[in-house]
Amino acid sequence: EKEANLTYHLIFPFLMTRVLHNQIWISVSRYRTAKGKNRIVDKGIDFEQVDRESNWDDQIILNGILLYLTNMIMPGASHLPLWRSDGFIIVILLHTGPVEFLYYWLHRALHHHFLYSRYHSHHHSSIATEPITSVIHPFAEEVAYFLLFAIPLMTVMFTGTASIAAIFIYITYIDLMNNMGHCNFELVPKWVFSTFPPLKFLMYTPSYHSLHHTQFRTNYSLFMPMYDYLYGTVDKSSDDLYETSLKRQEESPDIVHLTHLTTTDSIYHLRLGFASLASKPYAFKWYFTIAMWPVSCWSAVFTWFYGHTFVSESNTFNNLKLQSWVVPRYTMHYLLQREKKDLNYLIEEALLEADSKGAKVVSFGLLNQHEELNGNGELYIQRHPQLRIRLVDGSSLAAAVVVNSIPQETTQVLLTGRISKVGYAIALALCQKGVQVAAMNEDEYQKLQHSDCQFGKNLVLAENYDQKIWLVGEGLTDKEQLKATKGTVFVPFTQFPPKKLLKDCYYHTTPAMVAPKSLDNIHSCENWLARRVMSAWRVAGIVHGLEGWNVHECGQ
């Protein structure tokens, strides 16, 4: 009875371990492919693929249901010991023989045009694979695979040689090999095969299975290529691709966008985090925050001590290689005066690294270019005048996006919050166009009046708040926002969007632009922005690189 309870109660923890195992593979694969080292296929991933593969955990849920039912119904599936050597050997032999053999011929049959068009084409829709691509199949195909993998497990149960270790290790082995075969970077070192040459027939590599997704008619084997060798379906370029992928070095970016974490939940919304969350605009969910708070706390502690930026995303556009690097700090760190020195050190280190890798442009995202932190990036130019890279704060493009989003017939706007470099540029452009700009804050109004810019008579101090367009800067309070009249349009010129307190008003997103279709490998959202929408600050760096401008665009 005690052993039966152990078997039953271990199923759920085992399922959670499988989820964690798969998530680790997803994160590591996305990190490695973003850096480019040992990457196999260069084709990008899109949102369609992410959506198609978002139900990867369904097979774990189905597997869990079957394990519970089997444990309760089958006599040989309960009261299992932790370990039995004979059962473990039987599982190995049955997988190597019947399972691999039957899978090979089932797989070849699935590539017949009748079955391929109705079933297997769904799996092959992903040319550039991710670890979770391995379990994305139509339901009928999933059932067929479950029946195949059940052969060793059912055999040991019927023969009374089953053990908890044999069942859990076998399922973990299937997960491991599935994830490895679809991770899109080569990780099996050459010494493995040189030390034990027959292993070449008993274990495939990521590049070996990747060829099946690009060539379709070769490399059909499950995990052991021996049946491909036996029946002559090995792709002739398997060894060459393996060698080439192992030799491939980390990519050097042309343009780097330097961003940072925002809330403690934002780490899950990174491309390296949860794929389904990263593919949607960030939105606070209280239940998710509560459920994940232990992990969030540990990640916050880890980022406090981790002292190096990391690559989170890579894209290509017009032969330019783009990368997004993340400073491992949250927004709360940028608001603490004592963190200023540490933040500048991390940013400077990233700039010098990008410079050493031959990058042409670095654009500053979010608070990495805050005026109080580094004077909109001017600090780094003063400290490192020998920098070959060009620094871009994106203020000009951000201001242009805001100005062009205001309707032509507008005659007056209200300028709220603290006035940044972008705010100055917007106010000046609107005043020169004949639009009256009313400043809500008297201190900010005086700063504008005493600046070198010629605002003329169109800059005034606000006497009321009935303007229908509010330009929102940093520090707009809830009390001030509640003064807006019905139908007011809030247009932020900040890096962060304002709170949406009024249901009868309209809120624009932060300055941003839609990415062209030729910009490849976009499958995650930039913070709260919609799909394939990029912040103006990020776009500014790309434009700077495309135009080949040899000047900095930052500072005061």
Count CB atoms within 10 A of the CB of residue 386: 5
Looking at residue 4, its pLDDT comes to 45
Looking at residue 268, its pLDDT comes to 94
Task: Report the half-sphere exposure of 493 (CA within 13 A, side-chain side).
Answer: 32
The radius of gyration of the chain's CA atoms, rounded to the nearest angstrom, is: 28
**Helix (H), strand (E) at residue 342:** helix 340-356
Per-residue pLDDT tens, the chain, 556 aa: give them: 444 468 899 999 999 999 999 999 999 999 999 999 999 999 999 999 999 999 999 999 999 999 999 999 998 888 899 999 999 999 999 999 999 999 999 999 999 999 999 999 999 999 999 999 999 999 999 999 999 999 999 999 999 999 999 999 999 999 999 999 999 999 999 999 999 999 999 999 999 999 999 999 999 999 999 999 999 999 999 999 999 999 999 999 999 999 999 999 999 999 999 999 999 999 988 889 998 998 888 888 887 777 799 999 999 999 999 999 999 999 999 999 999 999 999 999 999 999 999 999 999 999 999 999 999 999 999 999 999 999 999 999 999 999 999 999 999 999 999 999 999 999 999 999 999 999 999 999 998 988 877 888 999 999 999 999 999 999 999 999 999 999 999 999 999 999 999 999 999 999 999 999 999 999 999 999 999 999 999 999 999 999 999 999 997 6
Cβ atoms of residues 377 and 393 within 8 Å: yes
Looking at residue 1, its pLDDT comes to 44
Architecture of domain 398-510: 3-Layer(aba) Sandwich (3.40)
Domain map of the chain by residue range?
2-247, 255-392+524-547, 398-510
Is the torsion defined by CA of 216, 220, 226, 228 positive or negative? negative
Cβ atoms of residues 226 and 318 within 8 Å: no
Q: How far apart are CA 213 and CA 36, in angstroms?
A: 19
For residue 75, the 8-state DSSP code is G
Q: How far apart are CA 519 and CA 503, in angstroms?
A: 35
Task: Write down the pTM of the prediction.
Answer: 0.94
Looking at residue 5, its pLDDT comes to 62
Q: How far apart are CA 461 and CA 443, in angstroms?
A: 10
| 21-38 CB burial, b ≥16 within 10 A, e <16 | ebbebbbbbbbbbbbbbb
Chain position carrying tokens 């009935």: 466
Extended beta strands in 385-504, E state? 390-392, 412-416, 436-439, 459-461, 469-472, 489-492
Max intra-chain CA distance, the chain: 93
Cβ atoms of residues 429 and 448 within 8 Å: no
Q: How far apart are CA 240 and CA 245, in angstroms?
A: 9
Looking at residue 3, its pLDDT comes to 44
Chain position carrying tokens 């049955």: 94
Mapping DSSP onto H, E and C, the string for 383-401 reads HCCCCCCEEECCHHHHHHH
- At residue 386's C-alpha, the angle toward residues 382 and 390, to 5°, is 80
Q: How far apart are CA 492 and CA 414, in angstroms?
A: 11
